[in-house]
Amino acid sequence: MKEIIEKQKVNSFLNKLQLEWPSSIDHYNLKTESLAFIYLQDEENPKEFLKHLFPKMMLFVDFEVYLELMILNLDGQGDRLIYINRQSKE
């Protein structure tokens, strides 16, 4: 039961990010239970996006599972990886 709730919380977290930054985030894709790709709009720079994301991001985290966020341009390029709840994996 707890696993189902945690999955719902991760999806909710990703939806909140998309709602908070609709002009920056094009869409997201949850590849596995612990890896999500966030695709940015064409004109959005991943480094610049992270400057806006970091101050607010942890306000949206209400889950305990480990999650990696890969920030990508629409063409699939990018190298920004964010770890959330990394201690949960260890």
Q: What residue segments make up the domains of the chain, in order of their start?
A: 2-89
Query: Residue 87 above 90 pLDDT?
Result: no
Q: What is the pTM of this model?
A: 0.85
Element (H, E) at 50: helix 46-60
Q: Mind listing the pLDDT tens digit for each residue in 54-71? A: 888 888 999 999 999 999
- Type of residue found at 38: I
| Helix, strand, coil percentages for the chain (3-state, nearest 5) | 40, 30, 30
What pLDDT is recorded for position 27? Answer: 95
* pLDDT at residue number 57: 86
Residue 67's pLDDT is: 95
